[in-house]
Amino acid sequence: MLGRADESTAFARVNARWRSGLAASPRVRLVEGEGADVILHHDYEVDFATVSPPSAARRIAVRTWDFGPFPRLWSERVNRLWDRLWVHSRWIAEQAVRGGVEPSRVTVVPIGIDPALFRPDGPQHEPAARAGFRFLFVGATTRRKGVDILLRAYQQAFTAVDDVSLVIKDRATDVFYGSVRHRDEILARAASPGAARIEFVEADLSAEELARLYRSCDVAVFPYRAEGFAIPILEAMACGTPPIVPRFGACLDYCADDRAFFVEPKRIQLPVNRRLTANTLGLEVDVEEVDFCEVPVDVLAEALRAVRAAGREAIRARGERASEVARGNFAWSSVFATIEAELLAPAAALA
């Protein structure tokens, strides 16, 4: 298995969970280094266009690209050097095929949650300030995840006289987001006279502490522009906290009208044909087209007001259904069943 598992990044945390699950499997033997029958590559700290897999009976690349069709060079390398491409959502599977990856090579392997940890019952986070209604955002405070849209919408929807609070849990220790966060803007808006309350949580929380935070809030808000899976949405749902999300992209694998509040975004599809920076580590990639969404500020502001006005029972009903789906369909045990089936499939099935 190729890829770090000892860092505070989303992909490293997934790798750590995969390693522990595979190490405990009676059907799969986890081998580090040479001699493996299957090579599994999941690493965003390297330039994928330069990765040549070691010799093995099977070679599996795990890759996402949040902003539209896969870059052509990536697709060509998958078709030529890799037997399988694992992606985390149907949306990314579609984008891989649109970018040129042969459909027969693509498999959706979702990210899972621990239902014993992320559940509706249990202790809650103690808020910095009491509020009658609490919204929550969890994730890196970047434009891709729409935190700038959320801040403007929240300010438009509420003022200091409203009994509400917006809790923002940043991913401050993730190396991929350190230089692009909106920390200063968040703190400035929180200190603005007459502004509705904002609680900024910058500390790196354990999974148990994060579950407490989800349970302490009424609704989670994720107005992303582009996502490959969006783990915090699923974690919030598992804890019984229904999300407000765009009706677009990766979240549609697990969000529906009975378990989420949708906002209608604008879809943005543009040819770009230029070299773009793939991440904050400076890796670059040639991109032919982008495809993402934009939630209008006024639309989200209206949704925030409407959800708050919907009442506890309506929110609770969605939360209960959200938890049922997240904990039932996306438990790590179900994900590992998919992974084992892929790893143990006869070579002919992968041709």
Q: Which CATH superfamily is domain 133-264+295-329 in?
A: Glycogen Phosphorylase B; (3.40.50.2000)
Is the pTM above the cut of 0.85?
yes
Mean pLDDT of 276-299: 86
Over the stretch 293-338, which tens digit does the pLDDT of each residue have? 999 999 999 999 999 999 999 999 999 999 999 999 999 999 999 9
Query: Reduced to 3 states, what is the DSSP secondary structure of residue 230?
Result: coil
CA dihedral 122, 125, 131, 134 (to 10 degrees): -80
- Are residues 242 and 260 in contact, defined by beta-carbon separation less than 8 angstroms? yes
Look at residues 38, 30, 61 and name the one whose alpha carbon lies nearest to residue 48.
61
Q: Report phi then psi at 306, rounded to 5.
A: -65, -40
Element (H, E) at 327: helix 312-329
Residue 250: pLDDT band (50, 70, 90) is very high
Distance between alpha carbon 330 and the CA centroid of its chain, in Å? 13
- Describe the strand order of the beta sheet including 106-108 as a list of residue ranges: 38-41, 58-62, 84-87, 106-108
Query: Residue 265's pLDDT is what?
Result: 98
Give pLDDT tens digits for 35-45.
788 889 999 88
